[in-house]
Amino acid sequence: MPNVVDGMAPDRARRRIPDATVSRLPVYLRILGEQADERVESISSERLAELAGVNAAKVRKDLSYLGSYGTRGVGYEVGYLVYQIRRELGLTHDWPVVIVGAGNLGQALAGYGGFGERGFPVAGIVDIDEAKVGTVLGGTRVRHIDELPQIVATKRVNIGVIATPGTAAQDAADRLVRAGVTSILNFAPTVLSVPRAIEVRKVDLAVELQILSYHEQRRAGGSIHVVPGSTQRSASA
Amino acid sequence: MPNVVDGMAPDRARRRIPDATVSRLPVYLRILGEQADERVESISSERLAELAGVNAAKVRKDLSYLGSYGTRGVGYEVGYLVYQIRRELGLTHDWPVVIVGAGNLGQALAGYGGFGERGFPVAGIVDIDEAKVGTVLGGTRVRHIDELPQIVATKRVNIGVIATPGTAAQDAADRLVRAGVTSILNFAPTVLSVPRAIEVRKVDLAVELQILSYHEQRRAGGSIHVVPGSTQRSASA
DNA sequence: GATTGTGAAAGCGTTCACAGCC
DNA sequence: GGCTGTGAACGCTTTCACAATC
């Protein structure tokens, strides 16, 4: 039996949590936060599942990887669960991020504000284009990409965000890695080549749209060239 | 048995393609397009896999769902494969999209340009805030959200993009569905409730960062409170 | 009585390995 | 000889179903 010293990680915390579960924990966390704001103190897997758009068994399995933090016949204490998920996700402190690329997307990300609120303050935004250097985005002055190592070192940045055009993305990644960043969120439509130790996640907006296009095309009946739009009721599922 | 009229969809095209494969086809498509631009006429699964950052068996399995379009001992003809993937993804014609929300993200998406190039022209952008109506973003004038039904009907829009704050996202979804949209790309951190027939995909930037945070936290050693940053060489994987 | 936690079953997705074909 | 196409094996994820617990 693992001893619990101070409410901190028992053995459990060292066991690897399945990727699929890790990707859902942030969703549970947001919902639990909202529930806490509404003074809800206890929640069942059934209710949490409903709010998260998944099924209850999945919620219970997911939460069981964190430990046995529920009470049978009752449910989960919201505040405690928030604490445990935050701890597991490493959200007990802020993770400053640096954004590479001050184009449209970089500007939007810097100006978005939601990052900082959720524990990912923008420590800096850089661009290779001298013309963009000095302009202010979301309260952060754009600096030249050559200053990347300094920003990463002084602000203790572990996470880099690539918001450059596809052609510049590999260079951005190389610079981030050299500067000491160990995780990258890549918005460019490019497969990055980085050392194995670097964690990369990719968000490709065009890919998402193309997946939707596939489903639209299917419901239109495949090869038959239906004019898209307006009065569809659509297929079954 | 559906008859094959003109090199269009054989039986194969009606078979459902696994989700995981559908999500990779756009990646192959982009790479094949780049290869075509460089006058590459034929490509092996090995090479395509390398460029896509996956393994060769996966590429072959994925492509086999489209049909047997390769040549043993040789590889795949780039141009033909591009054609087949585009057809399967429904990219033989444009899919105009409408963006709801002209805040930071909506502006970035409208101004991005990459959408139109890849077959998803911005048919309109709407906001509920009168103050934003009339301003021009990426060549498109912002219109009031009440005009949504008109835009969807006249421009034959099937895909809606939600770029509102989380609190407004469900209302945006309701309006999109009422206007006749059948697919939604949701950037708001909210689980949408929509009719089953509506296809929804979600992109949550904060979730992606939190997944990275999880991995950073793990490499830092879990409960031990390591100052993030600078001179890490990191763990094994 | 209600609800969790979890083995076991079922379902998907990935990888292997090799027959089939050029 | 080289490379595709694919059954079979494997591993991960989801779902079921029920004993354990409050």
By C-alpha to C1' distance, D13 is nearest to A20
**Average pLDDT, 10 consecutive residues per value, chain A (237 residues):** 38 76 98 98 98 98 97 98 98 98 93 88 97 92 98 98 97 98 97 96 96 94 45 27
Interface test with A, best of B112, B176, B192, B207 (most A CBs within 10 A): B207
Question: Tens digit of pLDDT for each residue in B115-138?
Answer: 888 999 999 999 999 999 999 988
Q: What per-residue confidence (pLDDT) applies to A179?
A: 98
Interface test with A, best of B4, B137, B209 (most A CBs within 10 A): B209
| Residue type at B200 in one-letter notation | V
By C-alpha to C1' distance, D17 is nearest to A57
- Nearest by CB to residue A213, choosing from B51, B90, B230, is B90
Answer whether B209 sits within 8 Å of A118, measured CB to CB. Answer: yes
**For A113, left (φ over 0), alpha (ψ -120 to 50), or beta?**
left
Question: Tens digit of pLDDT for each residue in B199-215?
Answer: 999 999 999 999 999 99
Is strand D within 7 Å of residue A86 (CB)?
Answer: no
- Nearest by CB to residue B183, choosing from A25, A108, A212, is A212
CA-wise closest residue to B190 among B175, B177, B206: B206
Q: Can you give the residue ranges of every domain in chain B?
A: 19-87, 97-206
Pick the CATH number of B19-87 from 1.10.3720.10, 1.10.10.10, 3.80.10.10, 3.40.109.10: 1.10.10.10
CA-wise closest residue to A210 among B185, B150, B89: B89
| Spatial separation of the C-alpha atoms in residues B234 and B237, rounded to whole Å | 8
CATH number of B97-206: 3.40.50.720
Structure tokens at B129: 């805030």
How far is C-alpha A209 from the geometric centre of its chain's CA atoms?
A: 19
Question: Whole-structure pTM over 0.75, yes or no?
Answer: yes
Is strand D within 7 Å of residue A46 (CB)?
Answer: no
